[in-house]
């Protein structure tokens, strides 16, 4: 497997911030913490984002999670960023903004070509 746990965890931090800030929580009665007992929560458009943030935020011991799960988490956020860049009209192939650059790096990393990529921190 070409992936490294520490690097995978580091790569989760950018989309995590982006996903956290991308939610509109004015209508949320539990400040972004998923509550499956609440039907509004289950139907909310941010439900998947909140679930992800709850599972992979920086207070969770990500080192204790298996690498396969962290890579799957990274794949999920890559899909999120793709949709986000598309929504705001960016083309990651040519744009050099932080989001598009991250997306390009993440795609390379996930296909296994970025194992020697320098840390972004």
Footprint of Zn ion (CB under 5 A) = 90, 95, 97, 100
Q: Which is nearer to Zn ion, 97 or 113 (CB)?
A: 97
Q: Which is nearer to Zn ion, 4 or 82 (CB)?
A: 82
Q: Which is nearer to Zn ion, 29 or 94 (CB)?
A: 94
Shortest Å distance, C-beta 106 to Zn ion: 14
- In this structure, how many other beta carbons lie within 10 angstroms of the beta carbon of residue 61? 6
What does DSSP assign to residue 10? H
Q: In this structure, what are the phi and psi dihedrals at residue 88, rounded to the nearest 5 degrees?
A: -95, 10
Shortest Å distance, C-beta 85 to Zn ion: 6
Q: Which is nearer to Zn ion, 1 or 88 (CB)?
A: 88
Q: Are 110 and 95 in contact (CB under 8 A)?
A: no
Distance (Å, whole) CA 7 – CA 30:
32
Shortest Å distance, C-beta 92 to Zn ion: 7
Distance (Å, whole) CA 121 – CA 54:
23
Shortest Å distance, C-beta 88 to Zn ion: 8
């Amino acid at each position: 497997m070409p992936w490294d746990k520490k690097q995978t965890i580091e790569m989760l931090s950018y989309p995590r911030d982006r996903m956290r800030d991308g939610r509109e929580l004015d209508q949320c009665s539990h400040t972004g913490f998923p509550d499956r007992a609440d039907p509004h929560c289950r139907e909310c458009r941010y439900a998947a984002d909140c679930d992800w943030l709850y599972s992979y935020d920086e207070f969770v011991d990500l080192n204790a999670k298996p690498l396969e799960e962290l890579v799957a988490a990274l794949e999920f956020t890559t899909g999120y960023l793709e949709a986000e860049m598309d929504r705001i009209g960016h083309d990651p192939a040519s744009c050099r903004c932080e989001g598009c650059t991250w997306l390009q790096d993440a795609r390379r990393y996930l296909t296994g070509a970025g194992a020697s990529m320098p840390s972004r921190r």
